[in-house]
Amino acid sequence: MPAVSVVIPAHNAAPWLGDTLRSVLDQTYRDFEVIVVNDGSTDGTQHVIASFGQTIRSVEQTNQGLPAARNTGIRSARGDWIALLDADDLWLPDKLDRQMELLKNVPTLRWTYCDAYMFDDATGTTTSTLSAGRWLPDGDILRPLFLRNFIGTPTTVIRRDVFDDVGMLDETLVPCGEDWDLWLRIAAHYEVGVVRLPLARYRVRRGSMSSVLNYQVGFQRFLTVIERAATRDPERLGALRNQALTNVYIGTGMTLAGSGNHVEARRMFAQAIRLRPSSLQAYVYWMACLSGRPILNAAIRLRHWVRRKRTLGWRA
């Protein structure tokens, strides 16, 4: 039986799936199986899977959405460890090697994650890292994870029996938020190990779910995740509820401002200020919205520049 089961949900992923699968098959760590859940694709996804022959296990299902496809793959897994990967993202060759070495050296760990590069699909240019240069915590991460989701799905390796304890991905949290909800449920019970290196590449492309997502839908899903976690564990998370909500309002406001919707952005920043009057960041962006597009765009460019400098620091 393989040690690791790599679970890849795929829906109309033909343009990217081949590169994703090659990045997995090029791993220096070799004790794994690859499961692709074809979630009702209507393009050439199945042909791409078939072109890899017996090296890939294919599971077919009608289109049920990303969380359901991941759950199908996890239930089909034969390995003791589950490594999650999206059909358009990539792994660096030593990704599994480094994480499995960590898990071997610290046998009490039941899950691990790493950093990842974000790159533009059209140009291939690295734009930032998921961490944006911030320190990635390990051990008991429930409280910092509640404030900000810093774990990318393609960076995780999770012991399969963990899902017996905390449950599977919530299939009602579509089209986003299900991964953060799962990490919070795991973090409430298990300490985590981290490899503080970008070992995956997260593809950012126009037309992806994250780029076309209606902001109201995504915004409401994130609020749901926060409220559920605070209700499950009020002693550890109750006092952080307003701060976590403020972060969601600010993040949504930045997305709206970047797309030119300054009216809604101001509302988000104003709500962030009401929730947490001490949030200097919310005041800065709210005032930038009032000052007009040039000032706001300057604030956004400064934020992007800081993230870029942090990323270059990783690569140096």
Number of independent structural domains in the chain = 2
Residues 219 and 202 in one domain: no
Q: Residue 314: is its pLDDT beyond 60? A: no
Residues 191 and 232 in one domain: no
Q: Residue 310: is its pLDDT beyond 70? A: no
CATH number of the domain where residue 146 is located: 3.90.550.10
Residues 130 and 175 in one domain: yes
| Concatenated DSSP letters of the chain | --SEEEEEEESS-HHHHHHHHHHHHT-S---EEEEEEEES--SSHHHHHHHTGGGSEEEEE----HHHHHHHHHHH--SSEEEE--TT-EE-TTHHHHHHHHHHHSTT--EEEEEEEEEETTT--EEEETTTTPPPP-BS-HHHHHH-----GGG-EEETTHHHHH----TTSTTTTHHHHHHHHHHTT--BEEEEEEEEEEEE-TTSHHHH--HHHHHHHHHHHHHHHHHH-HHHHGGGHHHHHHHHHHHHHHHHHHTT-HHHHHHHHHHHHHH-TT-HHHHHHHHHHHH-HHHHHHHHHHHHHHHHHHHHHHH-
| Residue 194: band (very low, low, confident or very high) from pLDDT cuts 50, 70, 90 | very high
Site of tokens 């870029």:
308
Residues 203 and 219 in one domain: no
186 token code pair = 């795991």
Q: Residue 288: is its pLDDT beyond 60? A: yes
pLDDT digits (tens, 9 = 90+) for 59-110: 999 999 999 999 999 999 999 999 999 999 999 999 999 999 999 999 999 9
Mean pLDDT of the chain: 89
- CA 219: distance to chain centroid? 15
Q: What is the pLDDT of residue 209?
A: 43
Q: Which domain holds residue 226?
A: 214-315
Final residue in a domain of this structure, among 190, 207, 224: 207
Residues 199 and 251 in one domain: no
| Residue 219: band (very low, low, confident or very high) from pLDDT cuts 50, 70, 90 | confident
Q: Find the helix packing angle between 215-232 and 241-258, rounded to 10°.
A: 170
Residues 201 and 224 in one domain: no
Q: What angle do CA 6, 11, 12 make, to 5 degrees?
A: 125
Residues 200 and 91 in one domain: yes
Site of tokens 């909500």:
245
Residues 126 and 240 in one domain: no
Residues 175 and 46 in one domain: yes
Q: Residues 266-281: what's their mean pLDDT?
A: 87
Instruction: From 306, 286, 307, 288, select the one nearest 297 (Cα to Cα).
Output: 288
Residues 223 and 295 in one domain: yes
Residues 143 and 80 in one domain: yes
Q: Indicate the pairing of strand 126-129 with strand 111-120.
A: antiparallel
Final residue in a domain of this structure, among 173, 207, 241: 207
Residues 124 and 257 in one domain: no
Final residue in a domain of this structure, among 207, 237, 258: 207
127 vs 162, which has greater pLDDT?
162
